[in-house]
Structure 1
Amino acid sequence: MINALTYEEMIKKINNNYIERGLRNDYIGVFITRPDLESGKNILNSLDYYHHLTGRNVNFYLPGFGSYWGENYPDKETVAKIDGTEWYFSNEQFVKFTRKLERKTKWVYSGESELILLPLIDGKIEFDKILIFYLDDMLRDGAIKSVSAFFQQLSRLFESKSTLSEIHVALRKDNAIELIKGAILKNLPYGIGDVITRGNYFVIMN
C-alpha cells in the first residue's frame, strides 16, 4: 500500500518507478476508500500488514492518505501506523483526488469502497479503459468474506510468476484490459472469479 495524498503525488511515484525500476508495462491499483466506511476500516486496521504483504508485487495507491504532513492539512486525522510512522487521512484531499480521476476517465465515484486497476503501458497510464471492483457490493452480497481476505488473495495472485507473465504479455496487446481481467478472475482461488463475474462486481469502463 502506497500513500497518495494527491493525484499528482501518485503520478510522481509512478514516474519514479519508471525511472528507478524500469516499470514501463505494469498495472496500477487505486484503492478508493475512507476511514468512515466499514470496508475502509477493515483494511486500515491491518494497513501495516498489507503494506509489507504487497511489497513490490503490486502498487496499490491510497488517495487522500499519507504521512509527514506537518500542519498543512487542518482536516487531517490519524488513521494508522506503518513502521511506527503515523498515517493521516484528509477528506479534502480525497475529494480532490477522486474528482481529478473522474475528469481523466468515465468513472464516477459511488461513495463507497472501490478498487480501480489502471494499465501502465510504455510508462504512461491508459485512462481510456479501466477495471473496477465494487468492494462494498461484493462484501454485502457475500461474494467475499472481507476486504482484507480479498486483498490477501490478490496479493498471492500477483506473486504468481505465471499470472504476472500473462498480465505483462496482455499489456502489449490491443485488448489488454479484457486479457488482464481474464488473467485475474480465472486465477483467484475458491471460484471467487466466477462469483464476481456473475454478480457484475468487476467491470470494464471505457
Structure 2
Amino acid sequence: MSSVFITATGTEIGKTFVACKLLSQWKEQEKNPHAIKPLMSGFGEGDLANSDAGLLLNAIGQDATPENVNRICMKRFEKSVAPNQAARELGQSLDYDDILAFVNSRVLLANGAPTIVEGAGGIMSPVTDDKLHVDLISDLAMPAILVTANYLGSISHTLTALDVMERRGIPVERVIVTRPTLEHGEPQAFIDEMSRWSNVWFEST
C-alpha cells in the first residue's frame, strides 16, 4: 500500500487518531511515511500543534510549524464548519482542481513511501461548493479506510458510506471502529452486528 485516504461516517469519529496510529507504526518500521491534510477547519492558528495537521506531523516526527503545516495542508480555517462554508463566509472560494493537484503533487513527492490523505468530516462532506469528499477520493483513485464508531444510527451511516463508495468504485481496504468517548458502545459489539450486513473487513482500534 503506497497511499490511502482516511474518511469517516461523520465528524469527530477518530480519523486523525487512526491516521496518527498508522503513521506512527510505519515510522517505527522505518518506512518514511507521509501525511496530507488538504483542508482543515476548526483550529486556532496559535495552537497548530493540536490541529489535525499538527498531530499528523507529530506522528511522522516533524514539528507543527506554520511552514510544515502549509506543506501538507492547502487551506485551513478557524471556524468549525465545512471548509467550503468557512471559505464562503470569508469571501473566498475553493477550487477543486487546485485541491486535487495539491494532493497529487504531495503524493508524488512521497516517492512511493506510504502516504495517508485525511479528509475533513465524513465521506459526503463538501470539499467545494460543487464537490464532495467521495468525489475527491474517486478522482484520486485511492483505496480508502472508513472510520466509524458504535453509536445509535451507525449501522445505517456505515452501510450507506460503504454503498456510496462501492457505487463509485472506491476500494475499501478496511473499516476501523473507534470509541471516541465512553458514551459510544463497545467496538466489538458493533463489529459483530456489522458482520451480518457487510463482507468488508472490520477491526477496532
Structure 1 length normalisation: TM-score?
Answer: 0.29
Greater helix fraction, Structure 1 or Structure 2: 1
Q: Which has the higher contact order (CA 8 A, sep 6+)?
A: 2
Structure 2 length normalisation: TM-score?
Answer: 0.29
